[in-house]
Structure 1
């Protein structure tokens, strides 16, 4: 399988803390993932994963069905 940012994001999403609310992907998980990809700029990867995660979390918060 080919590596992609989307695949990385999906894999890293499994590292989210559990609980009642969806939290961000831990920095340590993103850093560890970046270390395993030779040639990948860790700072750029962190920035990109954070941007993707922000959009994901925004939609998780704002697209919940209303309970009536």
Structure 2
């Protein structure tokens, strides 16, 4: 059973969106966001999770498309 069917499309989208926003905040150069940034290890970890979710979503999409 795939991750997408286990947690549902709505929650998959919400989790991916939140992780993407966290990653964008961490890698942005906006000085106003400086107090809420994480260190490079955790932001890289979250970016890695996002890449994994992207890969899982692409596999799921390609299964449904066939």
Task: Flag the structure with more relative contact order, 1 or 2, with Cα contacts below 8 A and sequence separation at least 6.
Answer: 2
Q: What is the TM-score of this pair, normalised by structure 2?
A: 0.45
User: Greater Rg, structure 1 or structure 2?
Assistant: 2
Specify which structure has the higher proportion of helix.
Answer: 2
